[in-house]
Structure 1
């Protein structure tokens, strides 16, 4: 069969979510996936971004590294993995804007049956990581994605992350994701890819005339 195609669409302001995204990509590629790593774009102007130290500079650097996600990326993918920092206990506006832009594909039913998964980061302990990941399950269900959580299917899950997806707490951006948190993200990439491959193989088998 062809390689599973995995889209990782994320938003990151201070690199924490970006590093998780890269680890998810590494895990997916370990199982032979073709990966598109995309960063959602800002919805506010430079005057607002300058109020948060480093935001404008980090955005420019990351936007140079990653293309913006498009509906065509979602249509291409067998699996879509969303990544976001928590914003008041929920999804970042920048990533939500991308999801909202998938309405045309939703209307045509072109996302039904694709794999969906989520990961995220928060600035403080109990800052909303789990509620943020769960909040993204709702639009994924509406899009028709088959939601793939992590559970405790790998020993690393007893060290870091959540059963809903990889996470990280940056302690006000003082700490980058450590080895255990990155290992959870890599496991997520592998898990999503293995499920996407199995579903794709089933569809291919169903398409073969008896």
Structure 2
């Protein structure tokens, strides 16, 4: 059997969502997955980015580390995990723009039956983590993905995160995800990989019968 293929497509401005993305990737790799980590790109002008201290520098640094997600990445994957900071209680426009670009392969049915999961971060307490993750579930359903939440299926879930996906509150970027939140993100990577492997192997056996 080949390794499960996991795409982690995220947007991060100041590093909190990036940190969670890497913890999800670590969990997936622990179960033998092949992982592609991709950062969605800005589409606003440099003048807009200059209005936020450090935005351009942070973007340049992360863009040097991660390729932009593509339609081919989504086609390749057995599972797609989306990560986003909250923007007024909803998904970031950068990640949404990537999702919207998948209309071509969606129309061809190439996303049907892949695993889908979500994680996110926000700057302030009650800043919209849960509403953001839940709103993306609607999009995953339209894409034809099989939604995999976390529930309380691991002890780490009783210390941090949400049953919908890993989360973090950065307190105006003064806090990085701690051990408890990274444990939830790691579990998310393992859970997604386990489900993706099970679904793919079942399809393989069914095709062989």
- When normalised by structure 2's length, the TM-score is 1.00
Q: Please report the RMSD computed on the Cα atoms of aligned residues, expressed in angstroms.
A: 0.4
1:88 matched to 2:88? The reply is yes
Q: Which residue in the other structure is 1:168 paired with?
A: 168
- Which 4+ stretches in 1 moved above 2 angstroms? none
Gaps of 5+ in 1: none
Q: Which residue in the other structure is 1:45 paired with?
A: 45
1:25 matched to 2:32? The reply is no
Gaps of 5+ in 2: none
Number of matched residues? Answer: 209
Task: Please state how far the C-alpha of 1:43 moved relative to its aligned partner.
Answer: 1.3
Measure, in 1, the Cα distance between the counterparts of 2:9 and 2:161.
19
Task: Please state how far the C-alpha of 1:156 moved relative to its aligned partner.
Answer: 0.7
Task: Please state how far the C-alpha of 1:158 moved relative to its aligned partner.
Answer: 0.5
Measure, in 2, the Cα distance between the counterparts of 1:132 and 1:62.
23
Q: Deviations over 1:140-170 (max 9, x none)?
A: 0000000000000001101000000000000
In structure 1, the residue corresponding to 2:59 is in which secondary structure?
Answer: helix
Q: Deviations over 1:108-158 (max 9, x none)?
A: 000000000000000000000000000100110000000000000001101
In structure 1, the residue corresponding to 2:27 is in which secondary structure?
Answer: helix
Measure, in 2, the Cα distance between the counterparts of 1:145 and 1:204.
18
- When normalised by structure 1's length, the TM-score is 0.99
Measure, in 2, the Cα distance between the counterparts of 1:113 and 1:161.
26
Q: Deviations over 1:166-208 (max 9, x none)?
A: 0000000000000000000000000000000000110010011
Q: Deviations over 1:22-50 (max 9, x none)?
A: 00000000000000000000010110001
